[in-house]
Chains A and B, each alone.
Chain A
Amino acid sequence: MRWLRRRFPALLMARRNIGRTKVRSVLAALGIVIGVIAIASLGMFGLTLRYQITENLGDIGNQVTVQPAEDNSAVFRTISEREVREVRRIAGSSASVVPIQQMSLPISFDRGPPSGRFVLGVESPGTVYEARAGTIPENFRSGVLVGATIAEENDLNPGSSILVNGSTTRVRAVLAPGDSVGFLQSESAIVVPSTTFDRRGYSEVVIETENSQTANETAMALREELNQRRDRFSVSDNSQIADQIGQTFQALNLFLIGIGSISLLVAGVSILNVMLMSTVERRQEIGVLRAVGFQKLDVLKIMLSEAVLLGIVGGLIGAGFSILAGMVLNHYVIGDATLVLRPGNFLYIGLAFAFGVGTSLLSGLYPAWKAANERPVEALRS
């Protein structure tokens, strides 16, 4: 403190002056507090919303689906092993390629009468699914994986048994919600080893890439190379939709922050007002300072320090409340208050704090300039 005073003497004067009109200073800082909370929490709100939506959408943006093109022939075409190898080659080593078989099999839960349901045959489900309960075996040769909705409806747990195609099969894992393969949500999926299917050929191939951009590139490469001579496959990817969702949220966030900034603007006006009143009230005092040898710049420094001090105090309190608000927001929207500690949130809090201090500085400029340029002889004439 002592060092600070020696180093920045203007701060001493500024701090004492702020203390002189406590209520007024508190109100001016309160404006900044509210502005900072508004910007930070609206920014965090947008981020939380985006986080929640992308969680719900799962990884669709990273996925490319290859399906046989529909032609006019009545034959139900499948994708051959050779074609899958071709897809693997085009997608490159960084992408995981999951060929999927699909057919309707009679399934019976809880010893009831079997009914036909679509099941997926997946060789290595561990690459596309995550387990909510139980484990997905590395080498999937027996058993069945069920989606969360099916598990809940039929009261299934890892270890329960269901009838698949007439034979009793053990449930190995319940799939975590959120993931999806192609256009099939995991919630209602029933996954069996591909050895269950006696026929060759796959109904679709799902390629998971690192991000939506590589998904897009892979999809383009696949379209070009697989369909060189004729349209054998339809390749679909959601990367554009995912990008658009991202961009929409970016715009939404900017809009929300814009609304928050208006409150900071109001706070800035109130600081301007407080500082102007202060310069008028302290006209003679500033005149004395000039008379005893303070340069214009020194007076400017004192007045600006006052404004910035108000901004820093308001900004810090505002940032504190913003973290609290973010915890409440994350608790109710996502259900985990600690998610407020995501780096993106701190970006918004930092941004709001910087905006708050910046606003105070800007609002202080005119009153400080006015005080510094008052001629001491005029100021001292009482």
Chain B
Amino acid sequence: MAVIETRNAVKRYRTGGETLEALKGIDFAVEPGEFVSIMGPSGSGKTTLLNLLGLLDDPSEGQVLLDGEDVTGLTDSEQTAARKRTIGFVFQNFYLIPTLTAKENVEVPALFDHDPSVEERSVDLLERMGLGDRLDHKPDELSGGQKQRVAIARSLINEPRVLLADEPTGNLDRDTGRKILDEFVDITERDVAVIAVTHDELVNEYVDRTVRLVDGLMGEDAPATGRSPDPTPSPEADAVGSTDDGLTGSDRP
């Protein structure tokens, strides 16, 4: 069963007098342990989809399912609890708290749990990320790659089922980006699904499949290998993968 899923998700924004449809009916599902990238040009709705998947936003229409359970329309506090239980976030800008050490940053999501095992878990995670000697360093004493690894450790502290990454390699050089992507592959081997929204073609060398979004529509599901993806896919390019419904393009086989 899919760990996270959207069914005919539509998201509209009202800006001024106009209504902008950012997502026009997305059906999307990820299995446990799968590594999926979502690609597409700016304004295609990638971030909106990630927000829906991360329970940070509600769809205007359609459903979001977490472990087969409909989580749309939950209260803020229920969504927050579900987020904490199931979802980890990794951001392009790392968003570490500058006043806390690496170890404390990793413990942040569990800060209010009064759980004595958190410290042990955070040290374990940081050691797994190769940061065993950086536990008490503040973020400004860490390199970009180290910061992103702290952020990944933070996203894993509550043992989530899904990890959502927004441009995880966006602020990293290529070598460091590869190391981070290797970490993601490691994570998927522990049955955690990783969904990365990205512009970076490098990511596609690591993912199980790539999903392309164009103008709020899902273009195709392409395997990561064997195809050289177009950085700015046109609707025709999208139509290649899913034969008959390139424009309405909402169905996965």
Contact = CB atoms under 8 A, between A and B. Distances in A.
Nearest to B51: A377
User: In which size bucket is the chain B interface?
Assistant: 20 to 34
Contacts of A19: 99
Interface stretch (A258-266, A286-294, A320-328): A286-294
A229 interface: no
Contacts of B190: none
A80 to B, nearest CB: 83
A31 B179 CA distance: 50
Given A13-B111, A377-B57, A292 B155 contact: yes
A274 to B, nearest CB: 16
A375 B114 CA distance: 26
Contacts of B83: 291-293
A143 B114 CA distance: 81
Contact of A6 (B91, B97, B114): B114
A39 to B, nearest CB: 32
A3 to B, nearest CB: 11
A89 to B, nearest CB: 72
A284 interface: yes
Given A291-B83, A292-B155, A377-B57, A298 B112 contact: yes
A25 to B, nearest CB: 12
Contact of A292 (B57, B99, B109): B109
Nearest to A382: B93
A178 interface: no
B29 interface: no
Interface residue SS majority, chain A: helix
A20 interface: yes
A12 interface: yes
Given A20-B99, A377-B57, A9 B91 contact: no
B154 interface: yes
B6 interface: no
B96 to A, nearest CB: 9
B108 interface: yes
A285 B81 CA distance: 19
A288 B98 CA distance: 13
B209 interface: no
A296 B76 CA distance: 9
B250 interface: no
Contact of B99 (A7, A16, A284): A16
Contacts of B77: 295-296
Contacts of A291: 54, 56, 83, 89
B104 interface: yes
B100 interface: yes
Contact of A294 (B54, B95, B98, B112): B112
Interface in A287-338: 288-296, 298
B95 A9 contact: no
Contacts of B88: 292
Contact of A16 (B76, B93, B100): B100
A17 interface: yes
Interface string A1-43: 0000011011011001101100000000000000000000000
Contacts of A377: 51, 56-57
A21 to B, nearest CB: 10
Contacts of A382: 93
B109 A285 contact: no
Contacts of B155: 292
A12 B104 CA distance: 10
B95 A285 contact: yes
Contacts of B89: 288, 291-292
A380 interface: yes
A285 B54 CA distance: 17
B204 interface: no
Interface string B38-74: 0000000000000100101100000000000000000
B114 A284 contact: no
Nearest to A290: B80
A293 B93 contact: no
B99 A293 contact: no
A20 B140 CA distance: 13
Nearest to A301: B112
A124 B81 CA distance: 83
A17 B98 CA distance: 9
A201 to B, nearest CB: 85
B56 A376 contact: yes
Contacts of A375: 56-57
A288 B93 CA distance: 11
B141 to A, nearest CB: 15
B112 A9 contact: yes
A239 B108 CA distance: 66
A290 B154 CA distance: 14
B158 interface: yes
Contact of B80 (A20, A284, A293): A293
Contacts of B100: 13, 16
Which among A12, A291, A377 has the greatest number of chain B C-beta atoms within 10 A?
A291
A9 B97 CA distance: 15
Which among B81, B88, B93, B99 has the greatest number of chain A C-beta atoms within 10 A?
B99
Given A10-B112, A293-B85, 9 more contacts: A6-B116, A9-B114, A291-B54, A292-B88, A292-B155, A293-B158, A294-B112, A296-B77, A382-B93
22 contacts: A12-B104, A12-B111, A13-B99, A13-B111, A16-B97, A16-B100, A284-B95, A288-B95, A290-B80, A292-B83, A292-B89, A292-B108, A292-B154, A292-B155, A293-B85, A295-B80, A375-B57, A376-B56, A377-B51, A377-B57, A380-B56, A380-B91
The 6 closest A-B pairs by CB, nearest first: A293-B84, A16-B99, A292-B109, A288-B95, A377-B56, A9-B111
